[in-house]
Amino acid sequence: MKVVFPKQVIKPLYYKIHVQYIINLFQAMGSQVSFTDRNTSVDGSKFLVLVNGREVLFDFCDFACETTHWTGPYFKFHYDETRSYSANIRPFPPVSFYDWNAYNKLSSEIEYTGCGVVAYRQRPYGGAAERRALLGSILHDHCKDMLDTNILPQEEYWRSIQGDFVQLFAPGAREGILDRAQLQCMAFGECTISPKITDTMASERIIPGMHYIMCRDDFSDVPTILNDLERNISMCQIVGNNAKLLFERTCAPYSVKQYLRKELV
């Protein structure tokens, strides 16, 4: 594919986080990537890209704030299965990795076994501050010395998965959204616990009990879930492996390339 990106749109921070992710993803697909000075920003969280000469809209808004006047191909991060979207809107995998060579290398090296600490390494901030603080308090009371809340450098964080029993997540911007770190942990085959995820990954749903363990929105059942999983480590291993396969089918560059080819026919 030949893909033309704007050199700079929207806020510089948004470009660095979201636009650069898509650029790197297309490069990892083997696409021919170039850039234009033309401003293709649609609003604060959407921009146009030329894919084989065709204008395609990418939307990285965390919420269901679609641009209804755009009738062409439209790919949305955090596509919420509980919402109704226009017929031209398709799910697109949200930010996971920037360096796909590093992902490929670590994916073959990291071996999750389901044995170790209960990990909870999220910072409480913004709209997620209250629910993340609540989850942290529940885990502190239940797990005590088995709880690891250390914030680690990026690669060290990924490698720490090998010493985790499970890792827990509270959603960020809104209920049901998939946290980026949770998606990364799933990519490396870790069993994660969170409230219901309503995001859709490309053409597949993220299924509780298969790709992650679902807890209540108020986290009140987390101690019971942890106790049950301690008696069934094999369930953690199965869920983690299913999550890794889902990531490979829906988020890895080769799979995204096949998905786009199908959707842009």
Q: For residue range 125-155, what is the model confidence (pLDDT) as tens digits?
A: 888 999 999 999 999 999 988 999 999 999 9
pLDDT band at 265 (very low <50, low <70, confident <90, very high): confident
- In the DSSP assignment, the letter for residue 37 is S
Residue 203: per-residue pLDDT: 84
136 and 86 assigned to the same domain: no
Token pair of 2, please? 């030949």
CATH number of domain containing 110: 3.40.50.2000
Those residues with Cβ within 8 angstroms of residue 69's Cβ, 6 or more apart along the chain or in another chain:
none
177 and 240 assigned to the same domain: yes
Residue 208: per-residue pLDDT: 98
- Segments forming the whole domain that contains residue 67: 2-92
pLDDT band at 209 (very low <50, low <70, confident <90, very high): very high
**pLDDT above 80 (res 10):** no
Q: Tell me the percentage of the chain whose pLDDT exceeds 90.
A: 84
Q: For residue range 167-199, what is the model confidence (pLDDT) as tens digits?
A: 999 999 899 999 999 999 999 999 999 999 999
Q: Does residue 206 lie within any of the structural domains?
A: yes
Which DSSP string corresponds to 211-223? TBEE--TT-TTHH
Residue 67: per-residue pLDDT: 72
Residue 41: per-residue pLDDT: 79
Average of per-residue pLDDT values in the chain: 94
**Quick check: helix, strand or coil at residue 66?**
coil
Q: Which residue has the tokens 């910072």?
A: 123
In Å, what is the CA distance from 179 to each residue of 28, 143, 172, 228, 244?
Answer: 23, 22, 6, 24, 15
131 and 213 assigned to the same domain: yes
**pLDDT above 80 (res 25):** yes
Q: Does residue 155 lie within any of the structural domains?
A: yes
230 and 194 assigned to the same domain: yes
Q: Considering 92, 111, 133, which residue would you say is the last residue of a domain?
A: 92
70 and 110 assigned to the same domain: no
Contact 203, 91 (CB under 8 A): yes
Residue 144: per-residue pLDDT: 85
202 and 80 assigned to the same domain: no
Q: Does residue 209 lie within any of the structural domains?
A: yes
CA–CA separation, 63 vs 86, rounded Å? 14
